Amino acid sequence: MWEIINGELPIFYLMKDGTDYMLVDGLMYEAFDVVEPLKVNGDYPTGIYTFHGDGQVFLVNNIQIEFSNP
């Protein structure tokens, strides 16, 4: 978990399945090798996060996602 907090591992991954996309929980994937949808329920720090894809399962792209308070 410290690697995610320190920015060394991603907080989320973006997975593509055909024409569908899903945000994957980075902690569950890194710690338990489980592909679980990311649940954004207000626990994530606000800000802009950048995704750098680098695998066959996950989309190879650079995207940004912004978490903000409603």
Question: In percent, how much of the chain has pLDDT > 90?
Answer: 9
Q: Please tell me whether the overall predicted TM-score, pTM, comes out greater than 0.85 for this model.
A: no
Tokens standing for residue 32: 């338990």
Indicate whether 69 pLDDT > 90.
no
CA–CA gap between residue 43 and residue 32 (Å, rounded) = 20
pLDDT at 35: 92
What is the pLDDT, as a whole number, of residue 53? 63
Mean pLDDT estimate for the chain: 77
For residue 6, what are the domain limits?
2-67
Q: Which among 55, 56, 70, 69 has a CA at the least distance from the CA of 10?
A: 55
- Is residue 60 over pLDDT 60? no
Domain count, the chain: 1
